[in-house]
Structure 1
Amino acid sequence: MTLEILYQDDYLVAVNKPAGLLVHRTHLAKEEEDAVVQRLRDQTGKWVFPVHRLDRGTSGVLVMAFSPEMARNLSAQFSESQTNKTYHCLVRGFCDPAGTIDYPLAKLNEQKGRSRFKIEGTEKEAETKFVCLTRYQAPIPVSRYQSMRLSWLEVTPKQGRKHQIRRHFKHLLNPLVGDSCYGCRHINKALKAEWPEHFRLMLHASHLEFTHPVTEQKLTLSAPLSDQIIDMLNLLAPHEVPLSASER
């Protein structure tokens, strides 16, 4: 299956990564033969090198370089927070109209077969801003409640810590829908039962802005939402709860 190419020149290529696809094979998924790196190599006829990562369940803008030098140059922009990233996600509960999550994140011990735990002393600053675009109250029973409250957000993380958005909204008690690591099992179970064909991690990398290492021009790349996310939002649309005038 070919990937949707958003941008390509002699130095780099950007695609709209589908949910469920690894960026590259890892020691935790040695049995996986399918990944963005392999598909793009076959699709472009060139070796490609990862610049940044998106979680397997996340869709959206993903950039690859055609040389290790270009990959290092671009990676530095990400590690030094010189890029602008915009995500969209669906979370549990009614979020505030807007806010900033300023909560340092520590590395997690994620050895296979063991529970995750924070590694003390590894905390790094992490800041995530968000705007609530839409709220929903769907007539889907969940836990002891007869309806389900959800919020559709536009999110801009300042850094790119591992699982930053997912961990920050868990900290806010508004975990992402479809998140098997940090999510709410009651919400996930109810939505998977209600709309199984549309259920996934509801996180999408919508826009990415960075400086082209060679031309020094600003590049702004955008990736359309997946059909699964669009269908889920359409199903929720009749249950929208408008923000009050004071919240807009």
Structure 2
Amino acid sequence: MRDPWLIAVDKPAGLLSQPGLGPEQSDSVITRLQQQDQGLRLVHRLDRDTSGVLLLARSADALRRLSALFAERRINKLYQADVEGELHGSGCIASPLARLSRQPPRYGSHPEGRLALTIWRARAAGAHSTRLWLRPLTGRSHQLRAHLAERCHPIVGDPIYGDAGRSCRMHLHAQALSFRHPFTQQRVRLIAQEVPFATEC
């Protein structure tokens, strides 16, 4: 999607949202897109190993308004994930998350952390994993990954919280974003392409 104020892209797994430290981490979604449109700014980020919908602003005013929607929790986010083990039904995970280590960056429950809320619902169970719908009500770093790992159901292929050897990629996909457009006031629903977990290594 592209309009005068924003652009949405379908980020592949393995590509950073923004540059990291060092020349080996210079390639990213924003650096690629800014080659055609220097005014683009990231509104939010997805982890390198997460695929799916990523929203960018085309001006400083658009960035301010879209960032306010995220801060006020007026953007609905929907993810799909495959987690290890068997889960049934639905629930809400609520725990304060904080960074526990820097290299690699790892987050987990901590009494001085910031409250994180995740709604989950089982979609389908396989032989060794379960596909979930996930709706994060807050936007903490590694929220979905840390919450599920602490419930002993890490995301399949997670290189930090799970067993990366289970898959050639982490099975976490930002499926959709929905919100009221901050300029036109129309309802917007951005949906990524189908879940790419079956892609061969």
Confirm or deny a common fold (TM above 0.5): yes
- Letter aligned with residue 13 of structure 2: A
Give the CA deviation at 1:231: 4.4
Residue 59 of structure 1 is matched in structure 2 by 51
**Which stretch of the first structure deviates more once superposed, 211-220 or 168-177?**
211-220
AA aligned opposite 1:169: L
2:15 corresponds in structure 1 to: 21
Q: Which residue identity is paired with 2:67?
A: S
Please point out which of 114, 121, 136 is paired with 2:126. 136
- Judging by fraction of residues, say which structure has more helix: 1
**Partner of 1:145 in structure 2?**
none
Residue segments in structure 2 that go unaligned for 5+ positions in a row: none
- Alpha-carbon spacing, 1:73–1:181, altered in 2? closer, same or farther (3 Å): same
The match for 1:48 among 11, 18, 40 is 40
Q: Which amino acid is the alignment partner of residue 10 of structure 1?
A: P
In the superposition, the TM-score normalised over structure 1's length comes to 0.74
- Tell me the distance in 2 between the aligned counterparts of 1:129 and 1:116: 21
The 1:63/1:99 distance shift into structure 2, 3 A limit, reads same
**Alignment length (residue pairs):** 200
Q: Which residue in the other structure is 1:8 paired with?
A: 2
Structure 1, unmatched stretches of 5+, are: 1-6, 138-148, 193-198, 233-248
Moved beyond 3 Å, runs of 4+ = 114-122
1:204 to 165, 173, 185: 173
CA distance in 1, matches of 2:192, 2:109: 35
TM-score by length of 2: 0.90
Quick check: 1:33 aligned with 2:26? yes
Residue 106 of structure 1 deviates from its aligned partner by: 1.9
d(CA) in 2 for partners of 1:122, 1:21: 31
Q: Which SS does the other structure have where 1:103 is aligned?
A: strand
Q: Which residue of 2 aligns with 1:239?
A: none
Q: Which secondary structure does the structure 1 equivalent of 2:173 belong to?
A: strand
In terms of fraction of residues, the more strand-rich structure is 2
